[in-house]
Amino acid sequence: MVFSSLVFLFMFLIGTLTIYYIAPKCMKNAVILMCSLIFYAWGEPSYIIVMLISTLIDYCAGLVIWKWGANKVIRRIALIVSIVMNLTLLGLFKYSGFVASNINAVAGDNVLNINDAFFFGIKDLPLNTLPIGISFFTFQSMSYTIDMYRGEIEVQKNPISFAAFVTLFPQLVAGPIVRYSDISKELNNRTINLDKIYDGVVRFITGMGKKVLIANSVGALWDTVLADVQAGTPVSAATAWLGVIAYTLQIYFDFSGYSDMAIGLGKMMGFNFPENFNYPYLSKSVSEFWRRWHITLGAWFRSYVYIPLGGNRKGMGRTILNLGIVWLLTGIWHGADWTFIIWGVLYGVFIILERLFLGKVLEKLPGAISWIYTILLVMFGWVLFASPNLETAGAYFGSMFGSSGILFDSTTVYLLINYGAVLVLGIFAATDAWKVIVTNTEKKVPVLVHVLMPICKTAVFVLSTAYLVDASYNPFLYFNF
C-alpha cells in the first residue's frame, strides 16, 4: 500500500486516524502498532515475521544492555547479537541473490540456488524477494540498540511502545530513517492539537502533489526513453538528455514527496520526524548535495559508521579510507547490483577529491560553474542508479553522447510537446524560488497568503486525487530499497 493511492487515502488513513484520535492516551501506541502491521501486511503478509524478528531482537538486546549496565562483556555481547542478527536478515533477503548470481557467474555453473528457501519455519519463502522497507526498518531498529549501548537514550521497557516505534507506518517503508532518540519523548508523551494536525495535512498534501503531479508525470517520460535504449532503438542525444532530466526530477519528487507525506502523517499523529531533503539540486558540490539529499541516511552512516571508524580525527589517510568505506556501504545499501556499488564508489571518489583539493577549487569558481559540475555528476549518477544493469547504463551513456549519430529527432519534439510544461514546473519546484516568493509575499501581504494557501493546497489535493482515479502509472521508486 502506498500513500499516493485511493485505498490508503480514503480507507486506511481515515479509518486509522479515526480510531487513533478516539483511543485513550494509554492505547494510542497499541493502535499505531495494530494499524502499522495491517499497513505492512497489505502488500506482504509473509514478511511481517522478518520485521517482528528484528523488533524482538533489538527490544531484548536493549533490555539486556539496561539490566546488565555494569557488565561490559554482557552489554557488548547483546550489541553484537543485535547488529549481527539485523545485518544477517538484511543480507539474506537483500543480497543473497546478488552474491549467489556472482558466484554462479564465476563458477560457470548453477552452484547456488536460493529459491524456495526454508527460513525461520516458513516454507517457500524466497530469500531473493525483497521485503518492503527492510533497509529502513533494520537500520532504524538497530540504531536503538547502538544508542542504548552508548548510554545516549533510556531503555524502552514497554514492548508495545517499542514495536510501535519500529513499525510506525508513516515512515516504515521509505523513511525518513527515524532513530529512537528522535521520537523517544513523543513515543511516551506526545501532544496532538488542531494546529499540528493542520500542519500535517498541509505537509502531506504538498508531498502528494510532488509525487503524483510531478514525479509520476515525468517518470513516464523516463520510462519511455529507457525502454527504447533497452530495446536497442537508436535514441538521439537530445532525447537521452531529456530522459535523464526527467529521471532526475522523478526520483527527487518521488522520494522527497513521500518523505513530506511521512512527515505530515507524523505530525497528524503527534510526532516530529526529521527532515530528509533540503533543495539538493541547488548544491554547488557533491559533498553539499549529500548534506541535502536523504539527510537521515547520511546522518545514520555518519553516526554509526564514519565516526566510529575514526572520522577525520586520525589523519588524512584514515579519513579517505573511512569515506571510502562509507560510500561503498551507501551504494550497497541502496541495492544489490553492481550499478549501485559503482554509483556509491563514484560519489565516494568525488567526495574524497573534494576533501583533498577540489572543494577549495569549487569555492573559488563562479557559483554557476560549481552548480553545473555538481548537477552533471548527479545526473550521470542517476543513469547508473536507474539502469537495470551495467550494459543498459553503458548504452544510455552512449546515447547521451551521440552514439546513435542523431542529435535530435521527431521523438525529441514529441516529448518536449507532451512533457515540456511539467519539466519546467519540476525544475522550478526543485528550487527554493516558490518558498522565497511565499515568504516575501507573506511579509508584505500576509492576508493574501493566508487566504490563497488553503485554496492552493485544496486544488493540489483535488487534482492529485483526480489523477489517481484515472491513472494506472503510480510507481514508488524507494519501495525497492
Across the range 319-337, mean pLDDT stands at 93
- In the chain, the percentage of residues whose pLDDT exceeds 90 is 66
Peptide bond into 176 cis (omega under 30): yes
Q: Which of 274, 313, 271, 276 is nearest to 293 (CA)?
A: 276
Q: Calculate the alpha carbon distances from 247 to 31, 133, 226, 376 in Å.
A: 38, 22, 10, 13
How would residue 117 be classed by pLDDT, with cut points 50, 70 and 90?
A: very low
CB count in 10 Å sphere of residue 261: 27
**pTM for the full model?**
0.91
pLDDT at 426 over 50: yes
Active-site positions read 334
SS3 content of the chain, % helix, strand, coil (to 5): 75, 0, 25
pLDDT at 123: 44
Q: With contact defined as beta carbons under 8 Å apart, do 248 and 383 qualify?
A: no
Could you give the CA distance from residue 346 to residue 289 in angstroms, rounded to a whole number? 14
Specify which residues 122 forms β-bridges with. 119
pLDDT at 102: 80
Q: What is the pLDDT of residues 149-185, one digit of tens each?
A: 999 999 999 999 999 999 999 988 777 999 999 998 9
Q: What is the pLDDT of residues 222-272, one digit of tens each?
A: 999 999 999 999 999 999 999 999 999 999 999 999 999 999 999 999 999
Q: What is the pLDDT of residues 35-81, one digit of tens each?
A: 999 998 887 777 888 888 889 999 999 999 999 878 889 999 999 99
